Amino acid sequence: MASSGTGPRRVTIDDVAQAAGVSRQTVSRALNDKGEIGVATKQRVLDTALALGYRPSRFARGLVRQDTVSVGLVIPDLLNPFFTEVAAGALEAARDRSWHVVVYDTGDRAEEERGTLEVIASQVDAVVGYLSLPEDEIDKLTRGLPVVLIDREHRTQRFSSIRIDGESGVHAAIRHLAEAGHRHIGMLDHAERSEPSIRHRWFDAAMSACGLDASSMARADQSVEGGESALQELLGRYPGITAVFTFNDIIAIGALRAARRAGRQVPRDLAVIGFDGLRLGTLVEPPLTTVALDTRRLGALAVEQAARLLTGGGPLHTDELTVGTELRLRESA
C-alpha cells in the first residue's frame, strides 16, 4: 500500500497516560524516575509504555538540539555501487542539516539486520534504509522510532516508504528493443528472493504490451560474477535470444563480459539493458544502456521524510516520495 500522506504515527506520552489511566505528569515522573509516585503506579506506567512501544523523544526531553540528531542508515551491501550512491545522497542531506549518520551494512542477511536494529534503537532518533524483516518485527525492534523504508512498500501507517516507479522506464526499454527488431528478449532477475522481483513484473507487462513472450529468464546474484554466470545459463537454455534486460547495472556488466566470452558482439549479436543508471555504466565497453533513476535522491528523500517526522512537520506526500525512471540510451542496445 502506498503512503497516504499522513505518515506513520509515533506513540506519544499522552497515549501512555490514557492507557495507564494516569496524568501526563505522572507518566513523566515514572519515566524520569522522579520517585514522587507509588511503586505500583510507576510499574504500571513503565509496563504500559513498553507495551505501546513508547520511546521518549529526545527533542521533547530537551536533551538535544536539531543539529545533533542521529540517524541510522541501514544498507544491505556497501560494496554494491548502487547502495553506495544511495548512501551518498542520504549523507549529503544529513550533512546539510548538521545531522549525524551511522551507517550499517547488514550483508543482506536477516540475522544481521535484526542485530543491527536491536543495537541502534537506543542510539539514534530515526532509522532509514533497506529493511527486509517483517513489519511487525521491525516495529518491535525499533521501539517507536520513525522508520523510513527505501524501495519497499509499507503496509501499515507505522512506517513511511520511498518508492521507485520503474514501470514507464522498463516499458520504454522493451519498446526500444522491439522497435529495433528484437523478438526474443530474456531477463536476468535477482536470485536473493524466491519470488519474482517487481522489476520482473514490469518486464512481463512490457513484453506483453509489445506482443512478446517473457518466458526466457534466469536468476543472478547481484554481482558482476552473478551476471556472467546467469547469462551463460540463459544462453544455454535459450540460444535464440538477441537481447537481455537485467535486474540491475551490476548484473548487466557481468552479462557484457559473458557475451564477449561467448563470442557475441554487443549490441550486434546481443543487446544488453540494465537498470539503475550507475555512473559505472559509462565506464564499461560498450557503455551501458540503462533504465536510470536518481540514486542519490532516494537517500536524500529518506532523510527529508525522517526530518519531517522528527520535527512534527507535515510528512511528504505520496508523489513526493516516488523516484521515477527514464531510459538512458548508450551503445549496448
pLDDT, tens digit (0-9, with 9 covering 90-100), for 48-60: 888 887 766 554 4
Mean pLDDT of 286-296: 96
Q: What pLDDT, on a 0 to 100 scale, did the predictor assign at position 3?
A: 39
Note the pLDDT tens digit of each residue in 196-210. Answer: 889 999 999 999 999
- pLDDT tens column, 221-276: 989 999 999 999 999 999 999 999 999 999 999 999 999 999 999 999 999 999 99
Give the integer Cα–Cα distance in Å for 277 and 314.
31
Q: What are phi and psi of 161, to 5 degrees?
A: -135, 140
Q: Tens of pLDDT along 155-209?
A: 777 788 899 999 999 999 999 999 999 999 999 998 876 678 899 999 999 999 9
Q: Which pLDDT tens digit goes with each residue over 116-154? A: 998 888 788 899 999 989 888 988 888 778 899 998 877
- With b for 16 or more beta-carbon neighbours within 10 A and e for fewer, the 107-132 pattern comes to ebeeeebeebbeebbeebbbbbbbbb
Q: What is the pLDDT of residue 58?
A: 52
Does the pLDDT of residue 62 top 70, yes or no? no
pLDDT score at 94: 93
